[in-house]
Each structure stands twice: as structure tokens, then as C-alpha cells.
Amino acid sequence: MTVINVNESNFKEFVIDSKVPVLVDFWAAWCGPCRAVSPVLEEYAADHEGQLIVAKLNVDENPNIAGAYRITSIPAIKLFKDGSVVTELIGARPKAQIEKDLAAYID
């Protein structure tokens, strides 16, 4: 599965109402660490196809959602299950660390 882009008009449909866990990458185009973690999350999405969805939300273009989830530092990666945040990762990190940090939440 490829990474999907979400925004204020489809966030509820693709994230909150999702039947599978959704890993949301809160990012911005000007953020170097965000650009660094993007290919890592694409690999993670491919490795876990069918187990979860990976979505990207541009905080500059979607300030209401960024504010609602108290995004103050990016990249911020939040895992949603059944419409609620179950864990979050702040900052760029290698794939092995993401795997370790999320292992308890992904079936």
C-alpha cells in the first residue's frame, strides 16, 4: 500500500472511522527531518500492508487538525486505533526504532 495524504475534509473518513490502525505522519514541506522520515514510513507501510494504513497530514495546510492533536513539534507520528491516539513518536528515527516502538500496537 502506498502512503495516503489526508486533510481536514477527509481525516475523519480515513483516520477516525478506519477499521484498521492508521499511522499519521504530521509534517511540513520546510521540515528537513520530516523529509528524512518520509521514505522510512513508506517502507514501514509496505512491510505492514494489510495491518495498517500510513497517512500524511501537512500541518501548514491543515492547522485545525494539527491544533486539535496538539502538534507542537514535527515530525510527529501518531498511531490511531478505533479513532483514538494510542501512541506517538516525536522526531525522525530509523526504521528499526519505529518497528520497535510500534510493535506492541500492530498485530
Q: How many CB atoms lie within 10 A of CB 1?
A: 13
Using DSSP, state whether 94 is helix, strand or coil.
coil
Q: What residue ranges do the domains of the chain occupy?
A: 4-105
Cβ–Cβ < 8 Å for 51, 21: yes
The catalytic position among 23, 24, 34, 59 is 34
Residue 34 is a catalytic residue: yes
- What pTM does this model have? 0.94
What's the pLDDT at 107? Answer: 72
Condensed to tens digits (0 to 9), the pLDDT of residues 84-102 reads 999 999 999 999 999 999 9
Helices (H), the chain: 11, 32-47, 63-68, 95-102
**Cell numbers at 12, concatenated:** 475523519
**Spatial separation of the C-alpha atoms in residues 106 and 32, rounded to whole Å:** 27
The catalytic position among 23, 31, 55, 59 is 31
Q: Which of 95, 94, 57, 97 is nearest to 76 (CA)?
A: 57
Residue 11 is a catalytic residue: no
What's the pLDDT at 39? Answer: 93
Condensed to tens digits (0 to 9), the pLDDT of residues 13-31 reads 999 999 999 999 999 999 9
Q: Which CATH class is domain 4-105?
A: alpha beta
Assess whether pLDDT exceeds 60 at residue 60.
yes
What's the pLDDT at 106? Answer: 86
Distance of CA 83 to the CA centre of its chain: 13
pLDDT band at 1 (very low <50, low <70, confident <90, very high): low
Parallel, antiparallel, or unpaired for β 84-90 and 53-58? unpaired
Mean pLDDT score of the chain: 94
